[in-house]
Structure 1
Amino acid sequence: MADKIAVLIPCYNESKSVGKVVQDMKAALPEATIYVYDNNSTDGTDQIARKAGAVVRYEHQQGKGNVIRSMFRDIDAQCYLMVDGDDTYPAEYAREMCDKVLNEGTDMVVGDRLSSTYFTENKRPFHNFGNSIVRGSINRLFHSGIKDIMTGYRAMSYQFVKTYPVLSKNFEIETEMTIHAIDKNMQVDNVIVDYRDRQEGSESKLNTYTDGFKVIRTIIRMYKDYRPMQFFSLIAAILFVLGTGFFIPIFMKYLNMGVVTKIPSLIVICFVILSAIICLFSGIILSTLVQQHKQNFEFQLQEVNMQYKRLFPEG
């Protein structure tokens, strides 16, 4: 059966807070179905969530990305509200976020923590720094204006959920979702939400350095995949400048003396410049494939819209 609003709560050992999150969401969105997907918790998270009134399901592959893949695959709804089970996001903004999807046709609503209380509430300075770096780099690389890239509080449309290919397995999933929405020209809105730090005794599952590195690696990978012309042109330019810089002294010496004295260096320089040319043409070819993929995506979106109309004839 399809839901009008599905609240999605991925959880791993959130027994201290998941009950309150479920109750708050039921109060804010009484018509919604609350889904808690337990990701191998060992502290009774599933029992507490079920007692609070949530529909509890299980994902045994560890990682937030794996949980979200199962959620998006299993559940049909007009609006999906994703929220973490750690009670850091107030439920009072849920209605506003869902209304933007249901009434204004927004594909993704981002719960923007960084414009409110995040930097004062969050006690992990490297997380603050990392969020700012990720936001700045993605907005520059992809020419967007999204205020919070890594927030776990989002409302999404059926069209977004059913056309989004989940590739990441862990916490880099939010970055991947954001870039997908930007690249596919979907309507994205920001709603400023308050943020509160975790309850005492509740531990974050995010490793500052390991997961931070994964997020940066995801940005680079997706920039290569979604903007291959810019990515490979940049590499080509760097290689060409390096090759030319080392070639000029050899060429000037040849003009003055009439002899090439550094044959091995010249061979290496030729390979560097050749690599630059290969990178440039790789970018051209891959950008053509990306454009073809975007065209195919538009046809896929039409099919998803037809499915949506069959599921929600009144929507």
Structure 2
Amino acid sequence: MDKIAVLIPCYNEEQTIEKVIKDSKAALPDAVIYVYDNNSTDRTSEIAKANGAVVRHEYVQGKGNVIRRMFREIDAECYVMVDGDDTYPMDAAPGMCSLVLEKNADMVVGDRLSSTYFTENKRPFHNFGNSLVRGSINRLFDCDIRDVMTGFRAFSYEFAKTFPVLSTGFEIETEMTIHAVNNHMQIENYIIEFRDRPAGSESKLNTYSDGMRVLMTIARLYRDYKPMGFFSIVSLILAVISLVFFIPIFAEYLETGLVAKFPTLIVCGFVMLAAVLSLFAGMILHNLTINHRREFEMRLISLHSEKKRLMRNS
């Protein structure tokens, strides 16, 4: 079992990977550095291996798939995940690791948005998207995460081995954040400096398509983790629609004693029935999520014992 494992997911980062590895070694000299190549067509793997990193491969495309394999294959007391594009300062890594190893943090978020991100990043829609995602998650899940989309994080063993990776792409950071928040894991925000990619290095993130996938992921996870809130909103919307069309019919009935729009009245009844069913669905799923939380806590207890055993054997 490694004390600290630096995890670097890479796709065509030959221009910057050498510097990221050297900075990682300088900041964390005792760490094991793993570079996971995700079907790069350049010399990323070759350069990483020449600089002393442990190079492994994930052949299914997508950052989420890479992280799934990383967490599955590597056992460590502390995991540091950093992108291979040299936009994050590795000199912040020791401080982030200390929060995991000494303060029992489960996830440390490298917070770019509280420092230089908005001045360094040259893509205005990325700035807007980061603010939108952060605000949505903090409001929906009642938390205070300063940077949801950052690719620089530190994790505990318990987090890595309980995180169910469902996403395949860049929405994985959003999924990580919500998993930690929903399960009341200890989260720390750690302010870091951010620098834009060097000239010639291109971002793999598509502002519009990946941004939409992130927003859809937030909606899906809110439904899964907070079903009472999600289905209450659906129920309220359906009830309002039903009442909007029902009130004129009822007013006409009070005035004339006749119902002139029976089809509309029938549809209103079915829509209101759907609203009631949605509310009850939320209540049932809410009880199921409570049971899942109990099972999760028991899983954490067994993982703690497993971690101690691995540490003794390493």
What is the TM-score with the length of structure 2 in the denominator?
0.99
Which residue of structure 1 lines up, in the alignment, with residue 61 of structure 2?
A: 62
| CA–CA separation in structure 1 for the residues paired with 2:62 and 2:293 | 29
Which residue of structure 2 lines up, in the alignment, with residue 85 of structure 1?
A: 84
Q: Deviations over 1:255-278 (max 9, x none)?
A: 111110110110111111011011
| CA–CA separation in structure 1 for the residues paired with 2:312 and 2:177 | 29
Say if 2:81 is the partner of 1:74. Answer: no
Q: Which amino acid aligns with 2:110?
A: G
Q: What SS does the corresponding residue of 1:104 show, helix, strand or coil?
A: coil
Which residue of structure 1 lines up, in the alignment, with residue 246 of structure 2?
A: 247
Q: What SS does the corresponding residue of 2:9 show, helix, strand or coil?
A: strand
| CA–CA separation in structure 2 for the residues paired with 1:300 and 1:167 | 19
Q: What SS does the corresponding residue of 1:5 show, helix, strand or coil?
A: strand
Which residue of structure 2 lines up, in the alignment, with residue 122 of structure 1?
A: 121
| CA–CA separation in structure 2 for the residues paired with 1:119 and 1:53 | 34
Q: How does 1:90-169 map to 2 (within 5 A)?
A: 90-169=89-168
151-160 vs 303-312, which moves further: 303-312
Contact 1:23 1:53 in 2 (8 A): no
| CA–CA separation in structure 2 for the residues paired with 1:156 and 1:201 | 31
User: Shift of residue 162 of structure 1?
Assistant: 0.4
Q: What SS does the corresponding residue of 2:181 show, helix, strand or coil?
A: helix
User: Shift of residue 313 of structure 1?
Assistant: 3.6
| CA–CA separation in structure 2 for the residues paired with 1:47 and 1:227 | 45
| CA–CA separation in structure 1 for the residues paired with 2:190 and 2:300 | 25
| CA–CA separation in structure 1 for the residues paired with 2:200 and 2:254 | 74
Q: Which amino acid aligns with 2:250?
A: F
Say if 2:268 is the partner of 1:269. Answer: yes
Q: How does 1:1-315 map to 2 (within 5 A)?
A: 2-313=1-312
Gaps of 5+ in 1: none
Q: Which amino acid aligns with 2:301?
A: Q
User: Shift of residue 65 of structure 1?
Assistant: 0.2
Contact 1:7 1:80 in 2 (8 A): yes
What is the TM-score with the length of structure 1 in the denominator?
0.98
Gaps of 5+ in 2: none
User: Shift of residue 314 of structure 1?
Assistant: 9.7
Q: What SS does the corresponding residue of 1:13 show, helix, strand or coil?
A: coil
| CA–CA separation in structure 1 for the residues paired with 2:34 and 2:11 | 14
Q: Which amino acid aligns with 1:300?
A: R
| CA–CA separation in structure 1 for the residues paired with 2:241 and 2:276 | 13
Q: What SS does the corresponding residue of 2:208 show, helix, strand or coil?
A: helix
| CA–CA separation in structure 2 for the residues paired with 1:272 and 1:86 | 51
| CA–CA separation in structure 2 for the residues paired with 1:280 and 1:313 | 50
Q: What SS does the corresponding residue of 2:155 show, helix, strand or coil?
A: strand
User: Shift of residue 246 of structure 1?
Assistant: 1.4
| CA–CA separation in structure 2 for the residues paired with 1:237 and 1:179 | 24
Q: Which amino acid aligns with 2:305?
A: M
Q: What SS does the corresponding residue of 2:143 show, helix, strand or coil?
A: coil
| CA–CA separation in structure 1 for the residues paired with 2:269 and 2:38 | 53
| CA–CA separation in structure 1 for the residues paired with 2:84 and 2:283 | 44
Q: Percent identity?
A: 63
Q: Deviations over 1:206-237 (max 9, x none)?
A: 00011001000000000000000000001101
| CA–CA separation in structure 2 for the residues paired with 1:314 and 1:52 | 29
User: Shift of residue 244 of structure 1?
Assistant: 1.2
Contact 1:10 1:39 in 2 (8 A): yes
User: Shift of residue 178 of structure 1?
Assistant: 0.2
Q: Which amino acid aligns with 2:59?
A: H
Q: Quote the RMSD (CA, aligned, Å).
A: 1.0
| CA–CA separation in structure 1 for the residues paired with 2:313 and 2:38 | 35
In the comparison of the two structures, how many residue pairs are matched?
314
User: Shift of residue 100 of structure 1?
Assistant: 0.4
Q: What SS does the corresponding residue of 1:98 show, helix, strand or coil?
A: helix
